[in-house]
A = this chain, B = another copy of it.
Amino acid sequence: MQQTWIRFRSPRGDTGFGLVDGDRVIVYDGPGYTGSKPTGAVLPRDEVHLLAPCEPGKIVALWNNFHALARKLEKPVPLHPLFLMKPASSLAGPGDAIERPASYRGKIVYEGELGIVIGRKCRNVGVSEAASHIFGYTVVNDVTAAELITEDPNFPQWTRAKGYDTFGCLGPGIVTGFDWRAASVVTRLDGVERQNYPLADMVFSPEEQVSRISQDLTLMPGDVIACGTSLGVGSMKDGAVVEVSIAGIGALVNHVKG
């Protein structure tokens, strides 16, 4: 069964968790992956302000996880997921500004991606057990200060380029039981479609990612794996509005603040 979990700021200003039920939000006392319980409160959907749907301790972000992109880059597909981490401090939610770092004048690029939200602590989990450790899926914009990656010829600065505050955009909600196999990621920049790629083209499926990455790092409830992007990455001018959407999950909209 599919459910949509959100994290929100209530009209009174406090942070809440809830399950979307049509135009209502059934309020829970914690995130869906914690065994939380309904508080009894129900709020109109349009009276809550959406926040990033979880607060990951870490965001594990994959590079080169789509066949089409690997072909374009003329790189072989990897034998194991290739990843970096975006810190918890990079988190941004629906509607939040993507803030240009004060010290950086170069290109800031969008990367529309599927996000896996971990539901249970994972260490050395097999592929067949991985699905039961996935709470659900969200939409990610893995924002990147692209020119920093290669600024130093001796050390690619993936962490710095992708780790700035507001560069880890997640939302709008987390959908449980979501079938990614038939879905596509669509990114629109100022209303113009720039990415539209099928998730079926992934090199490592979500279950394989969870299994293999759990051999490397212990994944915790609320952690997010950003599955990597495919063709169509491009740069965003200050003031641009970027929307990443996956039918069945929703649309994540942010803007660039220079």
In the complex, what residues of B have CB within 8 A of residue A83's CB? 157, 159-160
Contact with B along A61-86 (1 / 0, CB 8 A): 00110000000000110111011110
Do B102 and A154 have beta carbons less than 8 Å apart?
Answer: no
Determine which of B102, B154, B216 lies in contact with A160 in the assembled complex, contact meaning CB atoms within 8 Å. B216
Do B215 and A102 have beta carbons less than 8 Å apart?
Answer: yes
Asked if A234 is at the interface (CB within 8 A of a chain B CB), the reply is no
In the complex, what residues of B have CB within 8 A of residue A102's CB? 124, 215
Contact with B along A219-247 (1 / 0, CB 8 A): 11000000000000000000000000000
Q: Which residues 36-68 of A sit at the B interface, judged by CB distance below 8 A?
A: 57-58, 63-64
Which of A82, A160, A164 lies at the interface centre, i.e. has the most chain B CB atoms within 10 A of its CB?
A160
Asked if A165 is at the interface (CB within 8 A of a chain B CB), the reply is yes
Given contacts A58-B88, A123-B165, A165-B123, contact A82 B216 (CB under 8 A): no
Asked if A156 is at the interface (CB within 8 A of a chain B CB), the reply is yes
Range of interface residues on A (Cβ < 8 Å): 35 or more
Contact with B along A101-135 (1 / 0, CB 8 A): 11100000000000000000001100000000000
Do A103 and B215 have beta carbons less than 8 Å apart?
Answer: yes
Do B155 and A63 have beta carbons less than 8 Å apart?
Answer: yes
Asked if A152 is at the interface (CB within 8 A of a chain B CB), the reply is yes
Do A217 and B58 have beta carbons less than 8 Å apart?
Answer: no
Given contacts A57-B57, A152-B78, A217-B164, contact A159 B101 (CB under 8 A): no
Task: Give 4 new A-B contacts, CB below 8 A, not counting A78-B152, A84-B84.
Answer: A75-B154, A156-B156, A159-B159, A163-B216
What are 22 A-B pairs at a CB distance below 8 A?
A57-B87, A58-B58, A58-B87, A63-B155, A78-B154, A78-B155, A82-B155, A82-B157, A83-B159, A84-B158, A84-B159, A85-B163, A87-B217, A89-B220, A101-B215, A156-B156, A158-B159, A159-B159, A160-B216, A163-B216, A163-B217, A165-B217
